[in-house]
Amino acid sequence: MTTEEWDALKEEVLRMARGHWEGTLAALAPQLQPALDRVGRHVPCPVHGGKDGFRVFKDVGETGGSVCNTCGFYADGIATLMWANGWRYSTALRAVADHLRVGVHSAQPVCKMARPVVSTNGDDDRLRLSLNRVWSESLPMSDRDAEPARLYLARRGISIPPPEALRFHPALAYYGGEKRIGEFPAILGLVSGVHGEAVTIHRIYLTADGHKAPVASPKKLMAYPKDRKIVGGAIRLDDTKSPLMLVAEGLETSLAVMEGTGLSVWCAINAVMLASFVPPDWVKRVLIFADKDRPTEQHPKGHGQEAAKDLVQRLWAMGIQASAIVPGGEILQGEKSLDWLDILRRDGKAGFPKLSAIDRRVIRSAA
Ligand SMILES: [Zn+2]
């Protein structure tokens, strides 16, 4: 396809899509459905998770635009699809064209098109600076001043020394929307992308005496520049390049699995990111220590269980042995889930499966 043909297709697709973005986004990125059901209202982000950072624009039908407080601003439907599905511009455009049956006469694939250069703007520079600043202000978890972090982890029932991959910030600003609420001590975790590149920082805001800070969202991801991709990423709690990888959702749960198994564990942060996790190329087997979540309307089998199952299936399709292990026992009354930290607190290390038992499970699930 020549540049002229490509430009013509682009123009035609965007013209055709105008007014049809709701259906187009729903068809090509079903994970956006909860947001499309509540146009203009905040819902959990389909890419990074969280509580309510994401919304589609009120005029989403016209523009296809959306915004996540953490991931970024997507002015139109193509940008929304590129972000939500981790697509290139050409892939997104082709998918929309196919969906709307635009340019069906042109049989040539567009996948050879070069990826447009992502222009950096002032916003991205500002985000890059603030990520670098926060990280450079942080201290090792073993620092004398990092007592709030050590107290917090001890209170949660974790007794292994925190891995060096985690850092401590003595006084990190907390914002509710645009408003600065205050400064709190915080545990920091560097979130790496699929290829190990730094993407953003995960924060757990604390009080000086080691409780969660009294704020709306004590666990948050920092906003990051548009040219960085969080999809598939994780907090790499360990840098051993073992062919066996353990992965869990939350930071505390991941540390509990590390303590319970004595093996290296990566933290996928939440169910949404766990489902999209991509292990590095040295990994041959993945064991997912899943959260057992109560069923909800949106997740009839429990969000944690569904995310783990999605990941298992995708990893097998990638040629990686994978299995998920859900904690045994009932979810306690008044609790929304049972996770491996609960198991560590309830049963200690004895509550964790032995590696030989895990092996048998892997073989069984492969059969
Ligand atoms: Zn997001």
Same domain (yes/no): 252, 298: yes
Question: Helices marked H in 284-366 — which ranges?
Answer: 303-317, 340-347, 355-366
Three-state DSSP at 248 gives strand
Number of folded domains that form the chain: 3
> What is the distance in A from the centroid of ligand 1 to the CA of 209?
30
**In whole angstroms, what is the distance from residue 224 CA to residue 302 CA?**
30
**pLDDT in the model for residue 177:** 77
∠ CA 194-198-200, nearest 5°, is: 105
> What is the distance in A from the centroid of ligand 1 to the CA of 231?
10
> What is the distance in A from the centroid of ligand 1 to the CA of 335?
26
Q: Is position 177 within any domain? A: yes
> What is the distance in A from the centroid of ligand 1 to the CA of 45?
5
Neighbour count for residue 124 (Cβ, 10 Å): 18
Same domain (yes/no): 278, 323: yes
Same domain (yes/no): 85, 155: no
> What is the distance in A from the centroid of ligand 1 to the CA of 117?
22
Q: Is position 110 within any domain? A: no
Q: What are phi and psi of 292, to 5 degrees?
A: -100, 105
Same domain (yes/no): 240, 357: yes
> What is the distance in A from the centroid of ligand 1 to the CA of 224?
10
**In whole angstroms, what is the distance from residue 255 CA to residue 262 CA?**
10
Instruction: Copy the structure tokens of residue 106.
Output: 């042109």
Same domain (yes/no): 215, 258: no
* C-beta of residue 44 within 8 angstroms of C-beta of residue 37: no
Q: Check which CATH number belongs to the domain holding 288 and give it.
A: 3.40.1360
Same domain (yes/no): 67, 163: no
Same domain (yes/no): 211, 273: no
Same domain (yes/no): 176, 251: no
Residue 325 CA neighbour count, 13 Å, CB half: 25
Q: Is position 183 within any domain? A: yes
The one-digit pLDDT tens for each residue of the chain (367 residues) are 777 877 888 888 888 899 999 999 999 998 899 999 999 899 999 999 988 899 999 999 999 999 998 998 999 999 999 999 988 898 999 899 888 876 544 433 333 333 333 444 678 889 999 999 999 999 999 999 999 999 999 999 999 999 989 999 999 999 987 889 999 999 999 999 999 999 999 999 999 999 999 998 999 999 998 888 898 999 999 988 999 999 999 999 999 999 999 999 999 999 999 999 999 999 999 999 999 999 988 889 999 999 999 999 999 999 999 999 999 999 999 999 999 999 999 999 999 988 776 665 554 554 4
Same domain (yes/no): 357, 252: yes
Q: For residue 115, what are the CA distances in angstroms to 10, 47, 74, 189, 347?
A: 14, 21, 17, 31, 51
Strand pairing class (285-289; 321-325) = parallel
> What is the distance in A from the centroid of ligand 1 to the CA of 237?
22
Residue at 11: amino acid letter: E
> What is the distance in A from the centroid of ligand 1 to the CA of 33?
15
> pTM for the full model?
0.79
* C-beta of residue 60 within 8 angstroms of C-beta of residue 127: no
Cα torsion angle, 267, 269, 272, 273, sign: negative
Residue ranges making up the domain that contains 86: 3-100
**In whole angstroms, what is the distance from residue 134 CA to residue 215 CA?**
19
> What is the distance in A from the centroid of ligand 1 to the CA of 47?
5
Kind and range of the H or E run holding 73 = strand 72-74
* C-beta of residue 54 within 8 angstroms of C-beta of residue 45: yes
> What is the distance in A from the centroid of ligand 1 to the CA of 190?
16
> What is the distance in A from the centroid of ligand 1 to the CA of 275?
14
Q: Is position 112 within any domain? A: no
Q: What are phi and psi of 291, to 5 degrees?
A: -80, 145
Q: Is position 252 within any domain? A: yes
**In whole angstroms, what is the distance from residue 222 CA to residue 179 CA?**
15
Burial of 122 (0-12, 13-18, 19+ CB in 10 A): exposed
Q: Is position 227 within any domain? A: no
Same domain (yes/no): 215, 241: no
Tokens 């069906």 sit on residue: 104
Instruction: Copy the structure tokens of residue 262.
Output: 């004595």
> What is the distance in A from the centroid of ligand 1 to the CA of 227?
14
**In whole angstroms, what is the distance from residue 104 CA to residue 216 CA?**
49
Same domain (yes/no): 264, 347: yes
Q: Is position 202 within any domain? A: yes
Strand pairing class (66-68; 72-74) = antiparallel
Contacts of 349 (CB under 8 A, 6+ apart): 259, 260
Same domain (yes/no): 245, 355: yes
Q: Is position 133 within any domain? A: no
Question: DSSP letters along 227-238, please?
Answer: T---TT-EE---
> What is the distance in A from the centroid of ligand 1 to the CA of 284?
29
